Structure 1
Amino acid sequence: MTKAKPHLYRVEVTWTGNTGTGTQSYSAYDRAHTITAADKPAIAASADPIFRGDKTKYNPEELLVASLSSCHMLWYLHLCAEAQVVVTRYVDYPIGTMMAAADGGGQFSKVLLRPIVTVMPQSDAVLAAKLHDQAHEKCFIANSVNFPVQCEPSIQLEP
């Protein structure tokens, strides 16, 4: 049996929203921050607009949903390549549902992945659909959250 090997992921999250008075009051500061990692472009982020954030920037909730979708997609493409299912297009429209609590906290209750996958006509469309289950089982992010991640894939044949 092989021993599990740790992988470390280092990022830097820097608050850039001090408008001059710090967190003197809840409305006194901006929720702007940047997310960076070595040799990668910065991600401009904020809170959800419901929480006084900037709607033009990504918020943590969107990034969590995107992480789940991205991880699933990467595993799926890997499994398709191994199974000789030739994918020519993959687009997902995931939806995350977060339930806010009365005290201002909250948690996600589910994320629904809705990938539309196009495969070459010689590929096995039934297998292409089944590989989503395997991708879900392998997804590091889905295996790390405490809420259901569901997948409703659509498989199309390349014209």
Structure 2
Amino acid sequence: MDLGRHTYALTTTWTGNRGSGTSGYRDYDRLATIEVAGKPALPVSADPAFRGDRGRWNPEDLLLAALSECHLLSYLHACTSAGVVVVAYRDEATGVMRESGGAGHFTEVLLRPVVTVADASMIEAAQVAHRQAGEWCFIANSVNFPVRHEATTLVAGQ
């Protein structure tokens, strides 16, 4: 048993067959459902720019969400280890994807967390914890583009 190895499983089911399958590029919907045992189903689609449903999550949203949440979780751990009490956290993340020759790739992601700490004495350690979180984040360590951080630290009650 490899204690450092973690395996994840899900099922993705395409639900966009309008009756003629993929008989033509405009003849099917980009709708699908992602399911993980014991969790609510996630309705997904393509980005609207690629004929998708804007009311559903798309792969680009999910990648950005994974990076933002991974940083959050790594950051909270780093703060706990450093004695920083975080009382609020909100991230306004953005990602840039470029298309070229029918393919595309992300060129960068910018995380903009606004963190509120319990006391002004924690500000410096709270800011340093973003670097540690960036090093610890499994998802950021798995992508081939930069994940940058522009963090703001506030103090509760001020």
C-alpha deviation, 1:82, in angstroms: 1.6
Aligned to 1:135: 133
Instruction: Write the deviation string for residues 135-156 of structure 1: whole angstroms up to 9, x where unpaired.
Output: 0001000000000000111000
Aligned to 1:32: 31
Instruction: Write the deviation string for residues 45-75 of structure 1: whole angstroms up to 9, x where unpaired.
Output: 1000000000011100010000000001001
C-alpha deviation, 1:5, in angstroms: 1.9
Q: Which secondary structure does the structure 2 equivalent of 1:124 belong to? A: helix
Aligned to 2:92: 93
Q: Distance in 1 between matches of 2:92 and 2:65?
A: 9
Contact persistence 1:84–1:123 (CA under 8 A): no
Segments of 4+ moved more than 2 angstroms? none
Q: Distance in 1 between matches of 2:128 and 2:81?
A: 14
C-alpha deviation, 1:122, in angstroms: 5.3
Q: Distance in 2 between matches of 1:123 and 1:4?
A: 38
Q: Distance in 1 between matches of 2:121 and 2:28?
A: 54
User: One-letter code of the match for 1:145?
Assistant: V
Q: Which secondary structure does the structure 1 equivalent of 2:25 belong to? A: coil
Q: Distance in 2 between matches of 1:32 and 1:123?
A: 49
Q: Which runs of 5+ in 2 are unaligned?
A: none
Q: How does 1:141-156 map to 2 (within 5 A)?
A: 141-156=139-154
Q: Which runs of 5+ in 1 are unaligned?
A: none
1:82 aligns with 2:81: yes
Contact persistence 1:79–1:131 (CA under 8 A): yes
Count residues with an aligned counterpart: 156
Provide the alpha-carbon RMSD of the alignment. Answer: 1.1
User: One-letter code of the match for 1:65?
Assistant: L
Q: Distance in 1 between matches of 2:71 and 2:24?
A: 40
Sequence identity percentage:
51
Does 78-87 or 117-126 show the bigger shift?
117-126
User: One-letter code of the match for 2:129?
Assistant: L
1:16 aligns with 2:12: no
> Which one of the candidate residues 109, 112, 135 is aligned to 2:107?
109
- Length-normalised TM-score, structure 2: 0.96
Q: How does 1:36-47 map to 2 (within 5 A)?
A: 36-47=35-46
> Which one of the candidate residues 125, 147, 158 is aligned to 2:156?
158
C-alpha deviation, 1:133, in angstroms: 0.3
